[in-house]
Structures are given as structure tokens and as C-alpha cells.
């Protein structure tokens, strides 16, 4: 699925969802955020859904099954992201693009290369949506320390697969951890996606929590595009200046043109 949202205001805007299937696309438009216009598209051509979009969130692709890791999805999902990026480059080249499709560690660079080839790449406007790792970290820490998860903030850096996910538990304010707790929490955060896949026994992956993560990122981005100041996301995969890890997920500050600043870790 692909979700695009042209807007001057989050609550007065056009919400669009596109699905590549031919089954009528159960878009669930009644569950969209409060918008003045909602529409769903289905079929092979996403062009109508992309026209005029300021924000595009790409979640299309196959999900993990038991025994698979995110890298196993590459052969299928890489082609899907490449095709959608090619359309975005033509139809809405100035849109902010959030890639949700796994493996994010590789689908984001693929989208970047497609946009570069088309001459429309702006590294401030391409994101790997890895917010789910933050939500999981906040949830697990809150449960362990008997806190309100809405009041817990856990910076998470790195990538979006296994040991590349690094929660900075030492930076969580108001709580302390033993070495054993740090080791156990880190391992659970890194393997949380696999835990969900195995629990569903082939019935899907972390669909609902990923939807929440996408919503959280999307709302933050739209607020920043509207000019709301000091919009900070604790973890988004973006292109930085690193020689050995050009795409990395640090805390970032969002602004009217996408990434305004990479924040210190």
C-alpha cells in the first residue's frame, strides 16, 4: 500500500491510499485521521494517488513469515520500492517520502538511487520510517519500570534489523538500569519483530504497531511542514555525512523542507 497526503493542514487536507491489488482495495478510509477528503485507489498505476502529494508513505511489499529475516524480503520488496520511487520521481518529485517497506536498511538507499538517477533527489526529504523501534523501546522500558509509555523517551540509533538496532538506554531520563536489564532489553528490542512474526505463525507481521509508528512519524512530519517549530523525531533513517554508514538513524529535527538538522547522540 502507499499513502499520500497533500496538505496545507493535517485536518483540512486530502488523504489518499493506493493499493496495487485488484480486489477493490479495502482502504478502511473511515479510519483515516480527520481530513476533509478521503479516497482510495487500486490497480497497477499509482499516478492518481500521487498527484499533488506533499507526503508519501510507502508500505507496499511482502511481510515476513516464520524463519525469515528482513533480508529475505529484499528480492521482492526492492523491486516494488524501485517502481514506486520511479513514479514518485515523475509525479511528485518534491514530496517528502517515508519508506516503511522492509528491509528498510536497503530499500531506502534503493529509493535514493532511483531519485538521484531522475535528478530529483533531496536527502532532506527521504526517510526510512524506523519509528517502530522507538515505540517498542518506550513500551518495554515503561513496562519494566512501571512508567507511562507516553512519558518515556528512548533514543534508538543505527539501522532497522537485528543488531543494527541500538537503543540508547543510558539516555532515558528518570530511570536507571542494571547491566542485566540493559542486555535483556536490548536483545528484546532488537528481536521484537521476530517475536511478533513467530507469534502470528505465518499470519502476518507487526501490522498494527507499524501502523501506529507510521502515523506518529507522518503526524510529526506534517506538523513540521506546516511550520511548527522544534519537531523532533527520536529515530528516522536518513542520509548523513558518514563515510562507512551513509544511511543512519539518528535523532533528527524536522522543518518545512524535511530534515532540518541531525541531532547529537
Give the catalytic positions in this structure: 160
Written as nine digits, the cell of 116 is: 538521484
CA distance 251 to 228: 17
How many of the other CB atoms lie within 10 Å of CB of 166? 18
Q: Find, among 171, 92, 102, 179, the residue nearest to 137 by Cα.
A: 171
77 in a known ligand binding site: yes
117 three-state secondary structure: helix
Pair 85, 111: CB distance under 8 Å: yes
Residue with C-alpha cell 479495502?
26
Give the list of residues 6+ apart from residue 228 with CB closer than 8 angstroms, or none.
none
The answer to whether residues 57 and 1 touch, using CB atoms and an 8 Å cutoff, is: no
**101 assigned binding-site residue:** yes
**Displacement of CA 265 from its chain's centroid (Å):** 20
Q: 105 labelled as ligand-binding?
A: no
Is position 100 annotated in a ligand binding site?
yes
Tell whether residue 102 is among the known ligand binding residues.
yes
- Is 265 annotated to bind a ligand? Reply is no
Distances (CA, A) of 242 to 123, 250, 260: 13, 12, 17
3-class secondary-structure state, position 72: helix
Report d(CA 144, CA 142) in Å as an integer. Answer: 5
Annotated binding site: 64, 70, 77, 100-102, 136, 210
Annotated binding site for substrate: 64, 70, 102, 136
Annotated binding site for NAD(+): 77, 100-102, 210
Amino acid at each position: 500500500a502507499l499513502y499520500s497526503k497533500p496538505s496545507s493542514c493535517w485536518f483540512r487536507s486530502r488523504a489518499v491510499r493506493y493499493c496495487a491489488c485488484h480486489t477493490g482495495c479495502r482502504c478502511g478510509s473511515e479510519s483515516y485521521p480527520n481530513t476533509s477528503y478521503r479516497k482510495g485507489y487500486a490497480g497497477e498505476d499509482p499516478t492518481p494517488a500521487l498527484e499533488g502529494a506533499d507526503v508519501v508513505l510507502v508500505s507496499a511489499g511482502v511481510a515476513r513469515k516464520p524463519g525469515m529475516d528482513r533480508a529475505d524480503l529484499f528480492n521482492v520488496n526492492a523491486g516494488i520500492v524501485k517502481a514506486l520511487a520511479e513514479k514518485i520521481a515523475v509525479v511528485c518529485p518534491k514530496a517528502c517520502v517515508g519508506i516503511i517497506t522492509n528491509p528498510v536498511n536497503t530499500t531506502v538507499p534503493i529509493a535514493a538511487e532511483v531519485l538521484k538517477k531522475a535528478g530529483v533527489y533531496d536527502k532532506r526529504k527521504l526517510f526510512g520510517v524506523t519509528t517502530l523501534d522507538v515505540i517498542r523501546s518506550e513500551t518495554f522500558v515503561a513496562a519494566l519500570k512501571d512508567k507511562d509509555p507516553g512519558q518515556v523517551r528512548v533514543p534508538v540509533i543505527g539501522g532497522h534489523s537485528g543488531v543494527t538496532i541500538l537503543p540508547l538506554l543510558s539516555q532515558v531520563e528518570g530511570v536507571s538500569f542494571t547491566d542485566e536489564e540493559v542486555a535483556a532489553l536490548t536483545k528484546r528490542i532488537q528481536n521484537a519483530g521476530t517475536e511478533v512474526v513467530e507469534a502470528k505463525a505465518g499470519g502476518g507481521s507487526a501490522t498494527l504497531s507499524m501502523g501506529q509508528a507510521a502515523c506518529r512519524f507522518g503526524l510529526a512530519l506534517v506538523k513540521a511542514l506546516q511550520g511548527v517549530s522544534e519537531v523532533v523525531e527520536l529515530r528516522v533513517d536518513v542520509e548523513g555525512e558518514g563515510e562507512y554508514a551513509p544511511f543512519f538513524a539518528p535523532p533528527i529535527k524536522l522543518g518545512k523542507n524535511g530534515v532540518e538538522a541531525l541531532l547529537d547522540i
